[in-house]
Structure 1
Amino acid sequence: MAEREKVLEIRDLSISFRTEGAKVNAIRGVDLDLYRGETIAIVGESGSGKSVTTKAIMGILAKNGTIDSGTINYTWTDPDGSKHTKDIVKMSEKEIQSEIRGRKIAMVFQDPLTSLNPTMTIGKQVMEPMMYHYGTSKEEAYKKAVELLSEVGITDPEARMKNYPHQLSGGMRQRVVIAIALSCDPYLLICDEPTTALDVTIQAKILELIQDLQKKKDLSVIYITHDLGVVAKVADYVNVMYAGKIIEKGTIDEIFYDPRHPYTWGLLSAMPDLDTDDDELYTIPGSPPNLTKKVQGDAFAPRNAYALNIDLRLEPPMFDVPGSSSHKVASWLMDPRAPKVEMPESLRNRIQKMVKEGVAK
């Protein structure tokens, strides 16, 4: 088996935001690895830190945001075979803009309307990054833009080049955003809830499109989503985030079929299921902690029916799940001295059903 080539390594990333009268510790020591050609999904409730983590990779944090500690090492190989690694945290805004953003790492946002300039034609917006980053001539950029629009499934691309965003449907606009993201041949594509604003049939087509382009171009992809159905379709590895930390990580099969963290149990239990006998959809009790205050112990403890005394005092380390090199869980339940706790029976039945249906790919 060929050795996996690491393209992104995040270590101990901590980010805070200064708000009126308080400091929000939004990201609290995140570690993340991504390899060439692989897809990782970052999942969790709103406010768990998914988008902030990836905005830090792109160097587009809000003005009141500060990276307090950590490294974001990005590695790429030039066409001549030479390898380079840079810590994005240490780069200036100007360096990130000219070397990284759009050129080596591109991002597809949730709402295509906010990503596109309403006063510029589609063609101009697809051509612009090539001309800015590589000095591509207008003729060459036009030719490549038409090819890209065709590649992302837009019919009659030459005619569409003259259109403005408001003249296209939501699905078409998202295809244009993907074409712009791919215009400079990036190595890494970050998709922040790329299908949330679209209807279900268009969602499936956009996900298929991103997967096809990933295979064709050997891209590494990070998906940010709260939709576990999307995760099951696209991801190789899953990182579950809660209160600014990754609390469980593993392969798609490990997270879906053998989850170990009570929060992951809650997320999987809350997935809609058409065959359920329950009258109501499961919800995780309580709400996430206030990150303007120092979190004592395990941030999930107040909502966790299986919390131990130690959870209220000490933050759990990342435990390795026995027998796996990829499955890691930040829960004191994984400590060999902890009482044996099984996942809820209802979730076990649901997982057995998922195994039969082969939900994860």
Structure 2
Amino acid sequence: MPEAKEKILQIRDLDITFRTTAGPVHAIRGVNIDLYKGETVAIVGESGSGKSVTMKAAMGILASNATVTNGSIEYTYRNDGGNMETVDILKKDKKWIRRNVNGKRIAMVFQDPMTSLDPTMSIGKQIMEGMIWHYKTPKAEAWKRSVELLKEVGIEDAEKRMKNYPHQLSGGMRQRVVIAIALSCNPELLICDEPTTALDVTIQAKIIELIRKVQKERGISVIYITHDLGVVAKVADYVNVMYAGKIVEKGLINDIFYDPRHPYTWGLLSAMPDLETDDERLYTIPGSPPNLLHEKPGDAFAPRNKYALVLDDKADPPMFRISDTHYAATWLLDPRAPKVEMPEELKTRLERMKKEAEKYGSEL
């Protein structure tokens, strides 16, 4: 049971509002996330649902126009004295976070490696920088360690690459360098923000495999931010489905993929490309995400939900418990609600996926 595991990150009731020229935007609305040591948690949802903002808050790198109006982000780590300590990152100043958290204990891999790297600095200097700043590592030792890191992330001719500049590398190699930088200070938590979006399909698979390999070898925890459920299926232990700044369904990977309960999750799964489907057109969720400048009462997903009830326009649904590991925020789970099954086409697809997974598992 999770209670026996070591919890390293606990986000509770997180609320974030952005000040804009058009007015306040309530971007994050009561988010709760738990992460245990060695686990992989995925946060999925469409662009603008609040995935990256939530994790930027955990790293203390929110934009200057963002205000945290409620909540806590408790991070448990082993301090420099070797003792376990729990801190609320939201109560710490930026200087403390830079010195004790960013890069050192929590590292982030951003989605576009070209904007993550400094074009005026050599690859070697960028990998060495964190070690020298956080741990006062001597330059010769930092150089040697950087070469080892480049080899670890699969870059050949590492000594030569240390002297290269970002523009001299391909997209896949740049992303490997970004991962090497993220790993340079031995973080306990790696946040991967759409790490494969800017890469072609074959390189995507290699980067995902690399992150899995590093996680297994080092025993670190990983948070994946993505809209690609295909990636989630390969890497995650636990999934949080996010919509309009709120988590609408969460559960173990099998809960979400084989027994989804929220109509939004049904839509996301139906929109995955599938060679076996009878439909000629790829499914899309009707409508578009809500404008959070104009918050309305009720469920934010209601205007796009063909199963919406009258109550959805009046009250935001609470999180209903489906099992010990599985929860969803939809009024369809209320005992008084009419019984609604997931679309038949999706049910057939999920059964097919399950059989394929079992077959694949038995052949390993």
**Category of TM-score, reference length = shorter chain:** over 0.9
When normalised by structure 2's length, the TM-score is 0.96
Deviation at 1:275, TM superposition (A): 2.0
2:342 paired with 1:327: no
Deviation at 1:35, TM superposition (A): 0.3
Deviation at 1:77, TM superposition (A): 2.4
Partner SS, residue 358 of structure 1: helix
**2:23 match:** 22
**1:220 match:** 221
Taking only aligned residues, the RMSD between alpha carbons, in angstroms, comes to 1.4
Q: What do the CA deviations read for 1:53-95 (whole angstroms, capped 9, x no partner)?
A: 1111111111111111110000012486521111110110111
Deviation at 1:168, TM superposition (A): 0.7
| Residues in 2 aligned to 1:289 and 1:125: alpha-carbon distance in whole angstroms | 40
Deviation at 1:309, TM superposition (A): 1.2
1:206-217 correspondence to structure 2 within 5 Å: 206-217=207-218
Tell whether the 8 Å contact from 2:277 to 2:349 is kept in structure 1 after alignment.
no
**2:78 match:** 77
2:318 paired with 1:349: no
| Residues in 1 aligned to 2:301 and 2:201: alpha-carbon distance in whole angstroms | 32
The one-letter code of the counterpart of 2:222 is V
1:276-287 correspondence to structure 2 within 5 Å: 276-287=277-288
The one-letter code of the counterpart of 1:284 is I
| Residues in 1 aligned to 2:177 and 2:303: alpha-carbon distance in whole angstroms | 44
1:124-163 correspondence to structure 2 within 5 Å: 124-163=125-164
| Residues in 2 aligned to 1:79 and 1:67: alpha-carbon distance in whole angstroms | 28
Q: What do the CA deviations read for 1:234-284 (whole angstroms, capped 9, x no partner)?
A: 100100000000000000000000000000000000111122221211111
The one-letter code of the counterpart of 2:347 is R
1:78-227 correspondence to structure 2 within 5 Å: 78=79, 82-227=83-228
Tell whether the 8 Å contact from 2:45 to 2:227 is kept in structure 1 after alignment.
yes
**1:313 match:** 314
The one-letter code of the counterpart of 1:295 is K
| Residues in 2 aligned to 1:293 and 1:307: alpha-carbon distance in whole angstroms | 20
When normalised by structure 1's length, the TM-score is 0.97
**1:7 match:** 8
The one-letter code of the counterpart of 1:161 is M
| Residues in 2 aligned to 1:129 and 1:81: alpha-carbon distance in whole angstroms | 21
| Residues in 1 aligned to 2:168 and 2:260: alpha-carbon distance in whole angstroms | 45
The one-letter code of the counterpart of 1:31 is N
The one-letter code of the counterpart of 1:357 is E
Deviation at 1:313, TM superposition (A): 0.6
Deviation at 1:356, TM superposition (A): 1.1
Tell whether the 8 Å contact from 2:147 to 2:162 is kept in structure 1 after alignment.
yes
**1:60 match:** 61
Partner SS, residue 229 of structure 1: helix
Deviates more, 1:174-183 or 1:301-310: 301-310
| Residues in 1 aligned to 2:14 and 2:79: alpha-carbon distance in whole angstroms | 27
Unaligned residue ranges in structure 2 (runs of 5+)? none
| Residues in 2 aligned to 1:248 and 1:44: alpha-carbon distance in whole angstroms | 11
Deviates more, 1:271-280 or 1:86-95: 271-280
Structure-2 change in CA distance of 1:97 and 1:81 (3 Å): closer
Deviates more, 1:338-347 or 1:287-296: 287-296
Unaligned residue ranges in structure 1 (runs of 5+)? none
Structure-2 change in CA distance of 1:233 and 1:281 (3 Å): same
Deviation at 1:102, TM superposition (A): 0.6
Partner SS, residue 298 of structure 1: coil
Deviates more, 1:271-280 or 1:241-250: 271-280
Equivalences, count: 359
| Residues in 2 aligned to 1:97 and 1:80: alpha-carbon distance in whole angstroms | 18
Partner SS, residue 295 of structure 2: coil
The one-letter code of the counterpart of 1:263 is Y
Deviation at 1:21, TM superposition (A): 2.8
Q: Which runs of 4+ in 1 moved over 4 A?
A: 78-81
Deviation at 1:286, TM superposition (A): 1.1
Partner SS, residue 255 of structure 2: helix
Tell whether the 8 Å contact from 2:190 to 2:223 is kept in structure 1 after alignment.
yes
The one-letter code of the counterpart of 1:273 is D
Tell whether the 8 Å contact from 2:27 to 2:245 is kept in structure 1 after alignment.
yes
Q: What do the CA deviations read for 1:93-137 (whole angstroms, capped 9, x no partner)?
A: 111111111111000000100000011110000000000011111
Partner SS, residue 231 of structure 2: helix
The one-letter code of the counterpart of 2:314 is R
